Chains A and B, each alone.
Chain A
Amino acid sequence: MVDFWFSLPLVVQGLLKGLAVILVVFPMSSLCTMAERKVSAWIQGRPGPNRTIVPWAAYVPVIGPLLQRMGLFQLAADGLKFLVKEEPVPGHVNKPYFTLAPLIAMIPALTTVTVVPFGAYLSGGQVVPLVLANVDVGLLAVFAVSSLGIYSLILAGWASNSKYPFLGGVRASAQLISYELSLTLAVLPVFLWINAPGTAGTLSLAKVVEFQSQPGFWGGTWFIFTMPLSALIFIIALFAETNRQPFDMPESESDLVGGFHTEYGAFKWALFFVAEYANMIVGSGVFTLLFLGGWNPLPWIPLATLAGWLHLGGHPLILGLLSIGIFIGKIAFLIFFFMWVRWTVPRFRYDQVMKIGWQKLLPLAIANLLVYALGIAFLTK
């Protein structure tokens, strides 16, 4: 089995691995839509979707009703509905671009996954990260590709050829440009810190986790403890970048009907929806890697130590799955945090979004960078 795998051409291996990751991320994003409905329901004192059930599942004694109450069949029903319902294309839209926009939304959302390491295993005492492409540009690639996602919003808004989508598209572009700066500036201290002068520089996300898994008090500290302000700015900018409440300017149902996707329906709309959640998953993944120690179970307890306790050093498969589980658990908490905030904080006004972005967050990010640059220079002198 293993020999057969390594006898495959590298391209095929890469394709299969990519497919496997997409097959995980895509259902995760659709699961997120159900989680969103459930979390919103619980916060508002409702049970949420709990009625849908397929006949054969109704006969399974305990699991059937449990799945029904969790709304999993509702999720399947929704997905099926989006696939089979009529796909309306309004007469006044620019058809090629109108069709292209949802596809462009999906591509960066799923492309960024390639450079995000999602787990690790031990090979001869060395921690080897699980990642589709362990490239040195890591984070840069994530930022570069994920900011392409905004083009889908602009394209959708423009190709829809009506006022509300257009306004949504304009807001999306302005908002993303404003917050991209703070996002990038917020992570710079992390890389200043891990790229000590005189060593080979790297932007690899796996290296960031490696840095947070060193022995000792300072080695094992997650960056959220040493750089809380960076983490805060990063997560606020992440909310804005993924168009989540309270920054969902491009959609803002109450003043723009549906924003950029007003004219969309059926599967095209579902693609936007899934892309939004895929972006959230990747964003949460990057936040986990940068500030929450990646696949390390707890601060000051790196994965290698846990493997030593559980005697899993010789079982790369089990350890790999365990590390992926830990990583996905952290992502799940962050996704829950996204939803929790969404159902707590009302949407900002457009001018407030701009004000927070340019007058508050950006100066804060610059000051943060300066302080940490000076501090790191002083410490590593």
Chain B
Amino acid sequence: MAIITIPRKPLTFSERAYLPQIAAGLRITLRHLFKPSETLQYPEERPSIPPGYRGAPTLVMDPNGREKCVSCQLCEFVCPPKAIRIAPGAVPEGSGVEHVEKGPQAFDIDMLRCIYCGLCEEVCPEEAIVLQTQYSMCGTSREEMVNHKDKLYEMGGTLPDQHYKWDKKKAAEEAGNAH
């Protein structure tokens, strides 16, 4: 391989004298001195959260107020740090959505283990688990840092999607053309 000699420009007199260069530097730092500060005063000012941000994972309800999770446990399987624990159970009689058959009895996300990777959201076939904007969690014990089902729904709220997948399925079943 050939050696490539890079020509180095000799320093000009002002560069060798060094002081004009220092003066130029001083001019730059003086300009910065009068510039407004870039600091975000954190607890009082919060950063704006960009779309697609991966904050705390939460459970969401559909616009009818039905819990979307069908406790398929895919998120539990895919979760790399094993932060999710699901106890599947039947949907209680008389709730009007018995045709869904399954729902989570318990759904725990250990926020001390969660790495906010978003794989649970990606894998969920029901769009029931969503990473939202909350990024600051704190507690004084390990138990406190585990989000239980009610807390997850409280944080999650309702996802205003228009799929109504289970309603359509029920309507199809009643019309006699179930898959």
Please report A residues at the B interface, Cβ cutoff 8 Å: 39, 41-47, 232, 340-341, 343-345
CB neighbours of B137 from chain A (8 A)? none
B29 in contact with A45 (CB, 8 Å): no
CB distance from B14 to the nearest CB of A (A): 15
Given A42-B37, A45-B37, A340-B30, 14 other A-B residues pairs in contact with their CB atoms under 8 A: A41-B37, A42-B33, A42-B34, A43-B32, A43-B33, A45-B38, A46-B37, A47-B37, A47-B39, A47-B41, A232-B19, A343-B29, A344-B22, A344-B26
CB distance from B6 to the nearest CB of A (A): 23
CB neighbours of A343 from chain B (8 A)? 29
When C-beta atoms are compared, the residue in chain B nearest to A337 turns out to be B26
B32 in contact with A345 (CB, 8 Å): no
CB distance from A231 to the nearest CB of B (A): 13
Kindly identify which residue among B22, B37, B41 contacts A345, using a CB–CB cutoff of 8 Å: B22
When C-beta atoms are compared, the residue in chain A nearest to B31 turns out to be A43
Interface pairs (27), CB distance under 8 Å:
A39-B33, A41-B37, A42-B32, A42-B33, A43-B29, A43-B33, A44-B32, A45-B32, A45-B36, A45-B37, A45-B38, A45-B39, A46-B38, A47-B37, A47-B39, A47-B41, A232-B19, A340-B29, A340-B33, A341-B22, A341-B26, A343-B29, A344-B22, A344-B25, A344-B26, A345-B22, A345-B25
CB neighbours of A44 from chain B (8 A)? 32
State which size class the interface on B falls in.
10 to 19
Distance A345 CA – B26 CA, assembled complex (angstroms): 8
A45 in contact with B35 (CB, 8 Å): yes
When C-beta atoms are compared, the residue in chain A nearest to B17 turns out to be A360
Distance A43 CA – B19 CA, assembled complex (angstroms): 20
B33 in contact with A344 (CB, 8 Å): no
A340 in contact with B37 (CB, 8 Å): no
B38 in contact with A344 (CB, 8 Å): no
Kindly identify which residue among A45, A47, A344 contacts B28, using a CB–CB cutoff of 8 Å: A344
CB distance from A39 to the nearest CB of B (A): 7
The 5 closest A-B pairs by CB, nearest first: A45-B38, A344-B25, A344-B29, A47-B37, A43-B29
When C-beta atoms are compared, the residue in chain A nearest to B35 turns out to be A45
CB neighbours of B39 from chain A (8 A)? 45-47
CB distance from B117 to the nearest CB of A (A): 33
CB neighbours of A341 from chain B (8 A)? 22, 26
When C-beta atoms are compared, the residue in chain B nearest to A236 turns out to be B19
> Which residues of B from 25 to 66 have beta carbons under 8 Å from A?
25-26, 28-30, 32-39, 41
When C-beta atoms are compared, the residue in chain A nearest to B23 turns out to be A344
CB neighbours of A340 from chain B (8 A)? 26, 29-30, 33
- Residue from the set A232, A340, A341, A344 with the largest chain B CB neighbour count within 10 Å: A344
CB distance from B27 to the nearest CB of A (A): 9
CB neighbours of B25 from chain A (8 A)? 344-345
CB distance from B141 to the nearest CB of A (A): 28
CB distance from B122 to the nearest CB of A (A): 38
Distance A47 CA – B41 CA, assembled complex (angstroms): 9
CB neighbours of A42 from chain B (8 A)? 32-34, 37
CB neighbours of B19 from chain A (8 A)? 232
Distance A39 CA – B30 CA, assembled complex (angstroms): 10
CB neighbours of A41 from chain B (8 A)? 37
CB neighbours of A232 from chain B (8 A)? 19
Distance A45 CA – B12 CA, assembled complex (angstroms): 32
Distance A343 CA – B22 CA, assembled complex (angstroms): 11
CB neighbours of B22 from chain A (8 A)? 341, 344-345
Distance A341 CA – B22 CA, assembled complex (angstroms): 8
Distance A45 CA – B32 CA, assembled complex (angstroms): 7
When C-beta atoms are compared, the residue in chain A nearest to B36 turns out to be A45
When C-beta atoms are compared, the residue in chain B nearest to A51 turns out to be B41
Distance A341 CA – B23 CA, assembled complex (angstroms): 9
- Residue from the set B28, B32, B34, B35 with the largest chain A CB neighbour count within 10 Å: B32
